[in-house]
Structure 1
């Protein structure tokens, strides 16, 4: 196992931060304790990539431990004592990090005003001294395929000649039209894998907030979401309003003198109408609109940024020339886009194999989340999201598409969904219900339940399923226009593999249609739920904490069996603890007797399953307590599936552990349904939605596998 991986370049402008992010993603999927080391840094400058990696991957490593020497001090040491002394000092600082972590990601020099000679040679020597394989990144900006391929070969040969173990080569920021030619020119020409990543204009686009910082602009109007929009174009306003409106482009930042209230109002009105949605407006010359115009602007396009600078339009344009987007801790969306690009164009499985990092026994929250994403990607499924205009759902949809997790259907009025996505500056490339998809990548469609031709078909199906309740087709026609019912019927009819809802709907609104339409599996007595509780070093499964208030013994046994099956599906070896306030035979009473009876029912139904009950929580998870209370048990002290006697106990416990122990709670995950439908908390974060959709996709994979198995039996 290498003690580190050294990502480096051969010059400026290679965008290697994307590769550094991708490699860190690979390492944290496998290893719990990943360290970070940048041998040389700029004194006084904020290291945006280091801060991004620390924030995204929850690194507790102190920032001053990550940085070796600043360039000024390194140049002085080089001048006074020579290269050997400089390298010796950096090696000493590196080992201070390497000794404390399982693997270290090393970030090479940035070739920007470093005052150091022969930086490529220095990076190669440091990699050799650290015992780290190198992953060189070559810039492909504004070059053709042959030229890029030649540069990649030259870079490989240079590092190999300096004695480096070259892990792989990456050509980054390659013009989209040249990616095929570059790959063809490099085919079988090097002894290591080569990846070619296209230049993505979304990553190169600065956000409105980055423009504001670069210019020292004042924010007149705008919220956090508006300032996070990408600036994809600049439109300079000076013409009459009709001519100006015709020049607007999607994602443009309008730059106009501050006294042109007509252009300000016109641009915001066009944005509000979605024709086209702009990134914001930048007012020059230090002029500000009057109070009445400002109030109108705020009402026309709430949240849309309006900035003000003292300089004129020409000076402002000069300052903005060459400004590019950055991957920072403040731009998590760009990080997701970058990872999507990396995972699409890099053979991550092959690269992970060459890294040869041994997987440990510990499973951290991040490893569990990574595992969900990877499993979902292996056999892409189709998930319907009924809350198509909800901001968090749309942001999650962009992440899911970029990471290749699944195909999506967003429900809602198509113009409203498209307008909301554009307002948020999201790159979703939404398709209409009947539009053909190009390529083989994941797609997102928009379907309006009210206007969809499927509405009549679904009304017939729903009326047939609910005929025993007196539901007519006329009534069903109204019911199925509801997004939750429409999405559920898409799943029931095989037009989607699963559904996720609840960010803006109640649990009842999400689950009731599933109870009525999809119903339970033949081998499940009830629908129940589990939470995956991701602790610092392991994942526990808690059931049922969301659905059944007071299950009887038979229902409790069914919850245990279903929870064990769910645990196994997601890589958690099931050892089931049937929880109570009493352990073994030490207590009696109706509550304990229910758990005792449920335990016996589980043993009768699944004799091969490891189960213990009744048992107290501490005896279930703590080996020292188990050794005293149940020394002969195969479950006590090492339980992975914890079944609570009632909803009150389960819900209170999962929230207490989540808040007090800092656990990541993934769920609730519904189990027992014939096809997967999952509920979200109305406070769900974007990452929670991404995780739940990935879980739903994996459940759909498992359901499809069972169907194939039954068909072949």
Structure 2
């Protein structure tokens, strides 16, 4: 059986993050992946919507079930199966349980290329020893998962009567911290237990570790330490509202997805309250304290603190006049109302953790970025992936690009920083660790909008080309570059107020490594500055554009897509060679088909002679490249047809680089492939420039922008070599 067994050593290991990370890792490497949880936890009995029930052991069970729901909701896997409930497991003998779970895994793996098995975290009748027996019976390698013992961050309480802050008064109970020696001893004991059972342990992961935990487990396998990231465990405002049985009475629905990083109970005087209001805090105050409500909104508007939301207690709601004012001060901040008093709310929220849910896409992206930043995914995959599928699906290809970008992080500038799609894309790029980002635009426009959307762009540099000190420096350089065209310093300074020209100069000056633009502007506005400033790479006569088309069985590059209306034979040859280099850069073995309306030497007229000449030029300029032409599109793609015409070709039916005779035909092919079911296309991507600049479609989605940033980052890595 191919796959991996995740053996949790106990509670508090934050297994949801690791399970998500491993599922992401394998789902992008094998075509058919299954997930099997051995002990499927029972859900808490359902009650009225938003009803509160005291936390008990069943809440942890529910968290485990939520992990499967997250995987089901995010991934299209072959099977996601929950095994046996703890109650049922307790009723049957250990040997029978072992047989039933092993049979269940075997039934799932018959439909999959690989299987992820999540152990019972000691919940089975034989505890961790049972997991060791099961993993040995299944014959899959094991990853040990231990909790790092990080303490939960305390809430901050402002007392109503004493008007003082009690430092360290926790709303969430802190988890018991453990020393590095205790964690190491636990891992060594677990390693011995699984090894003695006949298992192959390939790695250990310590999750939710204290910051700067120095761990030397003394194991003969890699040990990865993932530090605690409070935002991942933080509940959202929506989850807090459900726990406290609170109604949403004001603010955008998007605000309900904000993370609650702490609690401030606003019972003190306004001045004391404001001193202790922090970013991400949920303000909990009696509903008759209009001053606290107004103070929280004013603090957000002034930028001194940005609370996650406000919860009004005792069933009291502010007057219409107060609500009108607060709605204008900070319309994005959610305001909740509950009939409970502040003490009861504190009890309801005690120990509340939000976890990672399918609908919280930003938290999912943060979790995946956090996992990949601390776990060597490539090394781990090498152990758990005996054979890799030769089929490169769009999901696998996207993962390869992202993995390449994350491995050597580059800095990308996005000139359309005031566009909401660009802001959302930047948030995902940062959460996944794909690249560092600079947004161009007015900070007083971008920052409030980003805050209103609940995005985390604190690490993003925001520059306004009109006011940046770099404007004069760039103007001087641009004037020198275009002096032969009559450019003056004054005119150059005016031009540097344009975000695309400013961003291009950032790339040219080495301030950033690449640029992505065009979601809100024209193609010409994006590429003209690049042609004037960056220009083509040495040995490349002209830039061209390529589209990556992920077909059912492989990735195929289409060229040229929009740069050359009717290229001559020499230009076609240059495009073919340049596209072959791009294919290699992105891990695609180049097999070049020079396309025309007919295959082989028999055809004549039209573009046949031009394509035939271009093919010979490619052979002479790049003799190492497998190239055939003229060749029809279906002959290049369809293996069955390739068996008849032409027989024995190294390219026909296996082509990965398709060079079209003119832009109109290439554009038609791109439109067709984008509309084909099961096919995903990326691009056009500009190739042949000294430094990467890429253009987006006007209707680009957030995902399109993220993908283009990753592609641009990979191109920038090649420039640095």
Asked if these proteins are the same fold (TM beyond 0.5), I'd say: yes
In the alignment, the residues of structure 1 paired with residue 698 and residue 334 of structure 2 have an alpha-carbon distance, to the nearest angstrom, of 27
Structure 2 CA distance for partners of 1:152 and 1:627, relative to 1, 3 Å = closer
Residue 4 of structure 2: aligned partner: 5
Residue 277 of structure 2: aligned partner: 248
Residue 479 of structure 2: aligned partner: 463
Structure 2 residue 138 is the aligned partner of structure 1 residue 120: no
Deviation of 1:232 after TM superposition, in Å, equals 0.8
Residue 410 of structure 1: aligned partner: 439
Q: Secondary structure at the match of 1:172?
A: strand
Whether contact under 8 Å (2:233, 2:356) holds in the other structure is no
Whether contact under 8 Å (1:143, 1:174) holds in the other structure is no
Structure 2 residue 160 is the aligned partner of structure 1 residue 137: no
Whether contact under 8 Å (2:94, 2:125) holds in the other structure is no
Deviation of 1:176 after TM superposition, in Å, equals 1.0
Residue 68 of structure 1: aligned partner: 83
Whether contact under 8 Å (2:78, 2:112) holds in the other structure is no
CA shift digits 1:347-398 (9 cap, x unpaired): 3344333335322322222222222223234433332222334444344444
Answer with 579-588 or 687-696: which moved more: 579-588
Structure 2 CA distance for partners of 1:314 and 1:505, relative to 1, 3 Å = farther
> What 5-or-longer segments of structure 2 have no aligned partner?
45-61, 150-176
In the alignment, the residues of structure 1 paired with residue 318 and residue 609 of structure 2 have an alpha-carbon distance, to the nearest angstrom, of 74
Whether contact under 8 Å (2:139, 2:199) holds in the other structure is no
Whether contact under 8 Å (2:401, 2:710) holds in the other structure is yes
Whether contact under 8 Å (1:18, 1:342) holds in the other structure is yes
In the alignment, the residues of structure 1 paired with residue 403 and residue 28 of structure 2 have an alpha-carbon distance, to the nearest angstrom, of 10
Structure 2 residue 99 is the aligned partner of structure 1 residue 88: yes
Q: Secondary structure at the match of 1:176?
A: coil
Q: Secondary structure at the match of 2:260?
A: coil
| Among 366, 378, 381, the residue aligned to 1:352 | 381
Residue 49 of structure 1: aligned partner: 67
RMSD in angstroms over aligned alpha carbons? 2.8
Residue 647 of structure 2: aligned partner: 631
1:19-418 superposed matches below 5 A: 19-44=18-43, 47-61=65-79, 63=80, 66-76=81-91, 78=92, 82-110=93-121, 117-141=125-149, 142-177=177-212, 179-180=213-214, 183-184=215-216, 186=217, 189-223=218-252, 225-291=254-320, 293-414=322-443, 416-418=445-447
CA shift digits 1:56-91 (9 cap, x unpaired): 343243x4xx12223333334x1xxx2222221111
1:664-703 superposed matches below 5 A: 664-703=680-719
Deviation of 1:340 after TM superposition, in Å, equals 2.6
Q: Secondary structure at the match of 1:250?
A: coil
1:440-451 superposed matches below 5 A: 444-451=460-467
> Normalised by the size of structure 1, how large is the TM-score?
0.87
CA shift digits 1:87-146 (9 cap, x unpaired): 2111111100122222211112256xx6x5443233222212222232221222222323
Q: Secondary structure at the match of 2:644?
A: helix
Structure 2 CA distance for partners of 1:507 and 1:243, relative to 1, 3 Å = farther
Structure 2 CA distance for partners of 1:15 and 1:153, relative to 1, 3 Å = same
CA shift digits 1:160-191 (9 cap, x unpaired): 454443222222212115x12xx14x3xx223
Answer with 8-17 or 283-292: which moved more: 283-292
Structure 2 CA distance for partners of 1:597 and 1:478, relative to 1, 3 Å = same
Whether contact under 8 Å (1:396, 1:689) holds in the other structure is yes
Q: Secondary structure at the match of 1:629?
A: coil
In the alignment, the residues of structure 1 paired with residue 564 and residue 274 of structure 2 have an alpha-carbon distance, to the nearest angstrom, of 57
Deviation of 1:604 after TM superposition, in Å, equals 4.5
Whether contact under 8 Å (2:244, 2:348) holds in the other structure is yes
Structure 2 residue 595 is the aligned partner of structure 1 residue 579: yes
Deviation of 1:207 after TM superposition, in Å, equals 1.8
In the alignment, the residues of structure 2 paired with residue 621 and residue 680 of structure 1 have an alpha-carbon distance, to the nearest angstrom, of 27
Q: Secondary structure at the match of 2:345?
A: helix
In the alignment, the residues of structure 2 paired with residue 456 and residue 557 of structure 1 have an alpha-carbon distance, to the nearest angstrom, of 41
Answer with 499-508 or 582-591: which moved more: 582-591
Structure 2 residue 548 is the aligned partner of structure 1 residue 532: yes
Answer with 531-540 or 238-247: which moved more: 238-247
Q: Secondary structure at the match of 1:42?
A: coil
Whether contact under 8 Å (1:208, 1:279) holds in the other structure is yes
> What 5-or-longer segments of structure 1 have no aligned partner?
431-443, 706-713
Structure 2 residue 578 is the aligned partner of structure 1 residue 562: yes
Whether contact under 8 Å (2:566, 2:663) holds in the other structure is yes
Whether contact under 8 Å (1:29, 1:367) holds in the other structure is yes
Structure 2 CA distance for partners of 1:217 and 1:658, relative to 1, 3 Å = farther
Deviation of 1:424 after TM superposition, in Å, equals 4.0
1:538-617 superposed matches below 5 A: 538-584=554-600, 589-592=605-608, 594-617=610-633
Deviation of 1:588 after TM superposition, in Å, equals 5.0
Deviation of 1:598 after TM superposition, in Å, equals 4.0
In the alignment, the residues of structure 1 paired with residue 421 and residue 572 of structure 2 have an alpha-carbon distance, to the nearest angstrom, of 35
Whether contact under 8 Å (1:544, 1:559) holds in the other structure is yes
Structure 2 CA distance for partners of 1:312 and 1:586, relative to 1, 3 Å = farther
Deviation of 1:43 after TM superposition, in Å, equals 4.2
In the alignment, the residues of structure 2 paired with residue 209 and residue 513 of structure 1 have an alpha-carbon distance, to the nearest angstrom, of 46
Structure 2 CA distance for partners of 1:43 and 1:537, relative to 1, 3 Å = farther
In the alignment, the residues of structure 2 paired with residue 657 and residue 447 of structure 1 have an alpha-carbon distance, to the nearest angstrom, of 38
Answer with 266-275 or 561-570: which moved more: 266-275
Residue 437 of structure 1: aligned partner: none
Q: Secondary structure at the match of 2:202?
A: coil
Whether contact under 8 Å (1:274, 1:422) holds in the other structure is no
Q: How many residues align?
A: 675
Runs of 4+ aligned residues of structure 1 deviating over 6 Å after TM superposition are none
CA shift digits 1:441-484 (9 cap, x unpaired): xxx53433233322112101111222343321111112112221
Structure 2 CA distance for partners of 1:526 and 1:147, relative to 1, 3 Å = same
CA shift digits 1:167-222 (9 cap, x unpaired): 22222212115x12xx14x3xx2233222221111112112232233334333344
Deviation of 1:557 after TM superposition, in Å, equals 3.5
